[in-house]
Each structure stands twice: as structure tokens, then as C-alpha cells.
Amino acid sequence: MQSMPNHAPSITPIKADLMVCPRWIIPVEPAGVVLEDHALIINRGEIVDLLPREAAAQRYVADTIETLPEHVLIPGLINTHTHAGMTLMRGIADDQPLKTWLEEWIWPLESRWVSTEMVRDGTLLACAEMLLSGMTTFNDMYFFPEAAAEAVDQSGIRANLGILAFDVPTAYGHGADDYLTRGLATRDALRNHPRLSFMLAPHAPYTVSDATFDKVATLAAQTGLGIHIHAHETQHEVDDSLHQYGERPLERLERLGILGPQTLAVHAVALNDADITLMAKHNVQVAHCPVANLKLGSGIARTTALNAAGINIGIGTDGAAGNNRLDLLSETRLAGLLAKGTQQDPGLFPAHSLIYMATLGGARALGLQDQIGSLTIGKRADLCAIALDNATTLPVFDPASQIIHAAGREHVTHVWVDGQCVVKKKHLTEISHGEIYAKAKTWENRFRG
Amino acid sequence: MQSMPNHAPSITPIKADLMVCPRWIIPVEPAGVVLEDHALIINRGEIVDLLPREAAAQRYVADTIETLPEHVLIPGLINTHTHAGMTLMRGIADDQPLKTWLEEWIWPLESRWVSTEMVRDGTLLACAEMLLSGMTTFNDMYFFPEAAAEAVDQSGIRANLGILAFDVPTAYGHGADDYLTRGLATRDALRNHPRLSFMLAPHAPYTVSDATFDKVATLAAQTGLGIHIHAHETQHEVDDSLHQYGERPLERLERLGILGPQTLAVHAVALNDADITLMAKHNVQVAHCPVANLKLGSGIARTTALNAAGINIGIGTDGAAGNNRLDLLSETRLAGLLAKGTQQDPGLFPAHSLIYMATLGGARALGLQDQIGSLTIGKRADLCAIALDNATTLPVFDPASQIIHAAGREHVTHVWVDGQCVVKKKHLTEISHGEIYAKAKTWENRFRG
């Protein structure tokens, strides 16, 4: 290498696939950091460097350079709980009590219509919405995960699919054994897919027998798979369990060997202090779904107490049939607002901690923290760019606050998953709007009939 | 007129300025109605007809026909409480206790910077955000209303401005008498403006003396103006009043003659049953600001009890310095979610009732229900069109539910105020983005300094 006096030594630039140069980067790890005028370097879908923009321009030559002069770049948002296929039922029966909603609307429709076609079409619509809203990973629990996987594959999103288990026959299978067999077969068939992972998904304590939980616990031990389960969504569920089993649902799950650091308890609303202690003892993960909990009248989860107990919390949208939007940014904002408001403490859950919950907290909840959740060298390049130069987001004193409290999904401009650009200037690259529209209208007409 | 056998009689079409032909119209009055394939006819800024589209095409010939094939048209949203000029401080000090936020950030900044220039620029930014978010009227309380009026005039929005009163000198004036004199002079100068109205705005029980309230009550009686006041925002405010006056703030306001059907109580969070009875007795109006109440740790207003007592509720965003967004749709959605969640009753505040709160309820709160708030013949043409053909809003089973629970301000495409199109295909017609951006950045730099 030549050495030239009074000049920096010339070096051969390193080739990379992509260089993203936003105004600000919030890597999430380390915590609370906002980098200005830095660049993120991606090669083969992996984050390979994060450095000041000037140094990046000297050190790297990238096939694609994306300059985002008024944007903040964060890790892609992680939706820790949804039922993507149900997006086709968005808003079909609002303002109804949970029992009416399920028994008179959702279950009859599912019984009539759930199929691989419905799950694929519904999941594709959900993927479109989630990508446009800045999500790069979702954790799903629904019938026919093999059909959901097709939509995931097409859309370019990342997903963690549920291997369903519960004790009622449906169009998808005869009962728990059948569901588990089918789900495990789907996982085996797709285990090399770069954007798919799986968890066991026993539906809920009130729909799964002790015998089925035993099988789930055994499978979890054999395979190393995590467990995705609704738990303590309502006080009614807790009361019923006490009546039927003489135990609270979490006590029963502990007895059955279901609780552990790879167990994701969804909702976790109706909790007493002993429940929280039990969850902390087993390092259980929580998927907090504040909109669904309010909209269905379940209540408000005790996130401040969960957080104080050291329990990791991710954010989930739940299904669009109930929510009715798959919008993790507004969901995360609400998580913060509810904690501040109910505890009467505006200092709770400051902006960076909420961004953490929506990204790395979600990755930890799914056991994917080594692969995604932060803009860390060696992780997969799942990225979300948010523009802050709009009338609705100006001025900008603190990009972290702006993301949580002022911006919305409408400001998401670019999304990358595994290094691939799947949303560019607010448009999906892998899904046509015409396809989404036609499928949604087809199913709207079917459900009306 | 000729009569032709076997044909409808030919009639001369009536000329009109504008015909809006959306897929759906929710007129709000009568309640709960969704009209499909109807047209709204506007002439000289007034709604002159609402009829089936085919009949409209025969009866009217309009200078402009706006066809919105996948949209729902509703009355323009009404923001019943904000401090528009503060939008320039959006996000400047988040996650702080209220006392720190006010005493260490907001008040020092206001003391240093509040001026006609700041209020005009901040209000213009607020008007841009509110129009893009579907609001056509806002109710303001801030310094230099004459400067706010300039921004209102430029932007094309409608506003109800506060004639401020409180007992501390500021850059705007020496104290209550001076504020009232200045505010009344502003009102006199602008009383013929077609989009401006005024209310007396004594800031809050804790900043206004009995003597000043006496003057406000006298002025209200003399002028017929309504009264816009913060009240019972926090339990702390109630406790302080009990300590200082031996009365709860609402009791004191009743004694001073401030309560009545033209009095708008903003926040109304810390209410006991007697407070609600008192408010109902005087037909007091409420501006419900759920995000600000949560974010500042004030709590959750008892909207179900207020509603049951027959008290009219409008929705407000409060100021962007605290909220941090002027987004009445998400605010309205949250109002519904909080009621459902805290009362554990998903049937509370169904979608049509929330649309009412955001429109006609807001108009009633401001005493403007004869002019705006519903798509009623004879009212001013303040309109908001929301597109429902996006991946994030499909399918559509119920347009009312979709507006509240799935759509966001990002789906607002067209807005008219007084019959003038001020937002067209998501772009402001009267304000340039360059002007907004430059002003926001100028003030961002000043405040940082």
C-alpha cells in the first residue's frame, strides 16, 4: 500500500450490498442512543457496520445507497401477537361483548370459511398492512400456518408461526394431536426458510386440557421450541379456572411445566401480585396488547408492576378482527400512555424504553434477540425508516420522542427485511395493491353472504 | 314547461358550486345513518341538498364535481381544546412530571419567546396539521389571538379563539384586565370574519382570582359569549382549591356564576359524583382530552358517568407541546377504548356515538351547533373525506366502525371548510409545505439556543 505524505493512507473500499444514510439512527442497543449522520452497512442481509457517514463513504462501496435526509432509522417493529388470517374480518362485529363477538360472529364465520385460501389471503393482507406500518416480524397464532407461510414468503416479511394446539375439532384438524402433528410437519417442511421460525401455540388455558399441555411441555423439551399462549386475558378466565381446577391459570401452567423463559404469555391483564411473582420466577415473557384489552373490555395490563418485576414485555396488535388495526407504533404509544395515566406518573416508560419494547423487547419475547431487534453488527438487517419532515412531526427536538408521541405509521417510508427493501417510499415492493384489494373485496362479499 | 308522454318532466337544473359524490355519507344528524351513493350539494359555502346521486345528477349542475368512489364523507372534525401556538414546542420536554414540564420548560420558553410572530407561525403549523388530519374547526386558548387569527385566515380553517384571562403578567399583557381588553378588541376587529368566533377564556380556577371571574361572568352576561376554561384536570388542583378556598373548583365556579350551558370545562378528570351532578344541573359542556390526561399523568376522565348524566362531550387534542399530536381521529378512538376498557364493557360508546362526539358533540360544546357539526341542509359546508380502499382499511363491513377503529388521519384525503377545498388529495391548498418547514426549523433553532 502506498503511503503519501500529508494524506490518509489509501485503502481499497469494502464492497457491500446496501448503505443506508438517514439523518438519525436509533440502534436500540446500546440503550438510549441517537446517532446523527451515521450510516448502516448491509451485506447479504446482515448488518456489517454502523459508523459515521464520512467514514462509511471512505471505507465502503455499496451497490445501493439510500439517503434519507429527514428520517430516523430504527430496527423493524416486532408484533409479538396476532392472528393474521383474521384480517379479512376487520370490523365485522364491533362494539359487541366478547362472548357475543366470538360465539355469534367469529366462530360461526371461521367454522364456515377457514381454509388454506382464507388464511393465505388474510395473512397477505395483514403482511401488507404490517409492512406499510413498519413491522418486519410478526408472531402468529392461527389455523393453516402453511398457508400463512406462503403469504410470508411472498411479502418478504419475517414471521414466527404457531404450531397450534387446543381441544376442539375445526376445519384445520380433528383435535390437539392432529393440530400438533400438522404444525410440526409444517415446521419441518419450512425449517430452512430464512424468514420463518416457529413456536408451539397452545391456544389458552381455557381451551387446552391438562393432557394436551403435557404433550406441549414434552414437545417443548424435545425440540427447544418456545410456547405462545393467551393467558389471564380477563378476570372471567381466572375465575373460571379457579372454579374448574382450583388454581389460577398461571398456577396450573406452572404445575404442567408450561412456564419458562421461552414462554410468551399474551395479554396478562388479570394478574395479582402472586401471578407477577410467579411469572418473574420463571422469566416468562409478556405480549402486551393494550388496544385489544381495552376494546374487548378486558382492562389494562399492569405493565409498571411487570416491568418492576424484571419481566420482559413486547407489544402485540392482536388480530385485526378485534383491534381493528395492525399498527404497532400506535399500540406502543398507547402502552406508554396507559402506564403514565393509570399510575399518574408521566415519567414512566420514557420514549427510548417504548422503542425498546417495540423492537428488542419483542425479539426477546420471541427468542429471536440474537438475530433481530437492534441495529447491531451481526444481526439481520430488519429496518424501518420514519420521515420526520412533515407538518405533523415538526419541529424535531428529540427523534425518539417524535417516533413515539408524534409520528404514526403514516410516516414510515422504507422497510427492509433481511436486507431486502420491501417498502420503498411508502409502497410495497412485493405485493400489488390490486391483488390485496381484489382479495379483500372477494372475502368481504363472501362473509356478507 | 313541456310535458312529454312516457318521460319524466324535464326541469331546469339548479346551479351549485360543488357536488361531492362519495361512496358513503355519514351525516351524523340523524344519528346512526350511513347513506350510500348519495351526493352533497354545496352553494356559497352552505349545504343546500343531500340526496341520492342519480337524483342529484338530474336536479343540479355544479361548477365542481368531486367523485370519491372509495371514500366516506363526514362532517369536519371539531377540536374542542388546543393551544395552537405551542405546536412549535412539540416534544421539547417529554416524559417529565407536569410541574417540571411547566416550570422548567414551557413557562421559561414562553416567557422568553411568546410574541405575535411565534403565535402566528405556531398556529399556522397547527392549522396545517389539523387540516391534514381532518379537522375543520378548533377551539384555541393562547396568547395573541390576533396573531392566531392571521394563521386561521391564511389556512382556510375555522376557529373559535379565546379571550384570555388570568392573573399573571406576560409578554401579552399586564394582567386580567389587560388581557380581557385586548381579547375583546381582537373580537371586535374580527367579528365579521366568516370563519372566526370567540369565547371568554379564563385559564383555570387555580390561575384566576374571584375578582377576575366576576368580570368574566359579567362580560359573558353582557356579550352572550361562552366560557372556555380548564377545570378539574388533576386531583392536585381539586385538593389545592379545597385548601385555599374550602371549595372544589366546580363549586367555586358555580358560586361565581361561571357555570352554564355555554361553559366548556376542559379535561374534567378529577370528578366525584357531586361534581358530575353539579355539571349536569348547569348543562356544562366537556372537552375530553384523553391523550393529554394520560401523558401528563392526570388520569382518565369518567366519560361513561358524564354521558349517563346527559352531559355533552366533545373531543380535544390539547396542545402539541404536551400531546404531541393534533389528531382528533386517534383521540376519539382512544376516548372509546378507554371507556370500554375501564368499564369492562365493549358495548360502550359505539362507533356512531364517537363520530358524534368528534363532530356535532364538539359543535355543541362550542355553541356552534346551528352552523356546523353535521351534514344538514342549511349548515356551513365543513367536510372531511376519508379513503377506505387501503391495505390498512380493507375490507369494509361498516364505514362508521372503520373510521373509528381502523382508519387514521393518514386516510383523510379531502377537506372543505365553508365550502372551500383546503385539503385536496392529501395536500394543503392554502399553505405551502416549504413555508411550514422553514418556520418550524427557525423556531426549533431558537428554542434550542
CATH code of the domain covering residue A21: 2.30.40.10
- B341 interfaces chain A, CB cutoff of 8 Å: yes
* Separation between Cα atoms, residue B75 and residue B134, nearest integer Å: 9
Q: Is the Cβ of A432 closer than 8 Å to some Cβ of chain B?
A: no
Share of chain A above pLDDT 70, in %: 98
Q: Is residue B49 part of a domain?
A: yes
Distance from CA of A211 to the nearest CA of B (A): 33
- Within 8 A of B448 by CB-CB distance, chain A residues are 397
Is B402 at the interface with chain A, CB within 8 A?
A: yes
**In this structure, what C-alpha cell is assigned to residue B271?**
370528578
Closest CA–CA distance from residue A193 to any residue of chain B (Å)? 26
- Asked if B395's CB is within 8 angstroms of A90's CB, the reply is yes
Chain A closest CA to B335's CA: distance in Å?
11
Q: Any CB–CB contact under 8 A between B154 and chain A?
A: no
- The values of phi and psi at residue B191, to 5°, are -65, -20
When CB atoms are compared, the residue of A326, A433, A440 closest to B395 is A440
What is the pTM (predicted TM-score) of this model?
A: 0.96
Together in a domain, B84 and B62: no
DSSP A366: T
Query: What is the chain A residue with the closest CA to B236?
Result: A344
Domain shared by B303 and B256, yes or no: yes
Q: Inspect the interface and report whether the beta carbons of B408 and A133 lie closer than 8 Å.
A: no
B405 phi, psi to nearest 5 deg: -105, -20
Cβ of A125 within 8 Å of Cβ of B391? The answer is: yes
Asked if residue B166 and residue B264 are part of one domain, the reply reads yes
**pLDDT given for residue A8 in this prediction:** 52
Last residue of a domain, one of B365, B400, B428: B365
* Contact assessment for residue A381 and residue A97, using Cβ atoms and an 8 Å cutoff: no
What is the number of structural domains in chain B?
2
Are A184 and A102 members of one domain? yes
Quick check: B125 contacting A, CB < 8 Å? yes
Instruction: List helix spans (H) across A116-248.
Output: 116-132, 145-155, 176-190, 210-223, 235-245
Specify whether B248 is located in the same domain as B354: yes
Q: Cα torsion at A329, B406, A382, A279 (round to 10°)?
A: 60
Tens-digit pLDDT string for chain B (449 aa): 344 444 555 679 999 999 999 999 999 999 999 999 999 999 999 999 999 999 999 999 999 999 999 999 999 999 999 999 999 999 999 988 777 888 899 989 999 999 999 999 999 999 999 999 999 999 999 999 999 999 999 999 999 999 999 999 999 999 999 999 999 999 999 999 999 999 999 999 999 999 999 999 999 999 999 999 999 999 999 999 999 999 999 999 999 999 999 999 999 999 999 999 999 999 999 999 999 999 999 999 999 999 999 999 999 999 998 899 999 999 999 999 999 999 999 999 999 999 999 999 999 999 999 999 999 999 999 999 999 999 999 999 999 999 999 999 999 999 999 999 999 999 999 999 999 999 999 999 999 98
Instruction: Read off the CATH number of the domain in which A170 is found.
Output: 3.20.20.140
Residue A99 has pLDDT above 90, yes or no: no
CB nearest to A397's CB, from B91, B340, B410: B91
For the cut 90, the answer to whether the pLDDT of residue A3 exceeds it is no
Beta bridge partners of B84: none
For residue A2, count CB atoms less than 10 angstroms from its CB and return exposed for 0-12, middle for 13-18, buried for 19 or more: exposed
Domain that residue B147 falls in? 77-365
Same domain for A336 and A403, yes or no, is no
B341 vs A96, A297, A402: nearest CB? A297
Q: What is the dihedral of CA A201, A204, A208, A212, to 10 degrees?
A: 30
pLDDT of residue B8: 52
Which residues, including other chains, have CB under 8 Å from residue A40's CB and lie 6 or more apart?
Answer: A19, A20, A22, A25, A47, A49, A50, A73, A375, A381, A383
Residue B62 within any structural domain of the chain? yes
Q: Is B113 in the same domain as B150?
A: yes
pLDDT digits (tens, 9 = 90+) for B203-220: 999 999 999 999 999 999
The average confidence (pLDDT) of chain A is 96
Using alpha carbons, select from A127, A156, A79 the residue that is nearest to residue A328. A79
Give the pLDDT score at B10.
62
Res B428: pLDDT: 98
Tell me the mean pLDDT in the region A395-411: 97
Q: Is A352 on the interface with B (CB under 8 A)?
A: no
The answer to the question of residue B426 being in a domain is no
Q: Are A283 and A411 found together in one domain?
A: no
Asked if residues A316 and A80 have their Cβ atoms less than 8 Å apart, the reply is yes
Asked if the model's pLDDT at residue A2 lies above 50, the reply is no
Cβ of residue B158 closer than 8 Å to a chain A Cβ: no
Residue B397 has its nearest CB partner, among A92, A351, A428, at: A92
In DSSP terms, which residues pair with A71 in a beta bridge? A387
Q: Does one domain contain both B344 and B239?
A: yes
d(CA A237, nearest CA chain B) in Å: 14
Phi, psi of B166 (to 5 degrees): -165, 175
Closest CA to A241 of A204, A211, A268, A214: A204
The torsion angles phi and psi of A97, rounded to 5 degrees, stand at -60, 150
| Per-residue pLDDT at A346 exceeds 60 | yes
Is residue A336 domain-shared with residue A189, that is, in the same domain? yes
CA-based R_g, chain A, Å: 22
B441 contacts chain A (CB < 8 A): yes
pLDDT digits (tens, 9 = 90+) for A328-338: 999 999 999 99
- Is residue A108, in this structure, part of any structural domain at all? yes
What b/e readout covers A383-409, taking b as 16+ CB neighbours within 10 angstroms? bbbbbbbbbbbbbbbbbbbbbbbbbbb
Place of cell 368566533: B197
Do residues A183 and A52 share a domain? no
Residue A4 has pLDDT above 50, yes or no: no
Q: How many CB atoms lie within 10 A of CB B61?
A: 13
Alpha carbon B348 to chain centroid, angstroms: 23
According to the model, what pLDDT value does residue A10 have? Answer: 62
Contacts of B299 in chain A (CB under 8 A): 341-342, 344
Any B CB within 8 A of A317 CB:
no
Contact call for B94 and A341, based on CB within 8 A:
no
Q: Is residue A242 part of a domain?
A: yes
- Cross-chain CB nearest to B325 (options A326, A392, A398): A392
State the smallest CA–CA distance between residue A8 and chain B in angstroms.
35
This model of the complex carries an ipTM of 0.95
Q: Is B337 in Cβ contact with A295 (below 8 Å)?
A: yes
Cβ neighbour number for residue A228 with a 10 Å cutoff: 30
Please indicate, yes or no, if residue B371 is contained in any of the structural domains. Answer: no
The DSSP code sequence of A36-98 is ESEEEEEETTEEEEEEEHHHHHHHEEEEEEEEEEEEEEEEPEEEEEE-GGGGGGTTSS-S--H
Query: Is A409's CB within 8 Å of B405's CB?
Result: no
Instruction: Identify which of B90, B297, B346 has the shortest CB distance to residue A345.
Output: B297
Closest C-alpha to A327, from B299, B406, B171, B91 = B406
Shared-domain flag, residues A245 and A130: yes
Minimal CA separation from B382 to chain A, in Å: 21
> What is the Rg, in whole angstroms, of the alpha carbon atoms belonging to chain B?
22
The answer to whether B134 and B415 have CB atoms below 8 angstroms apart is yes
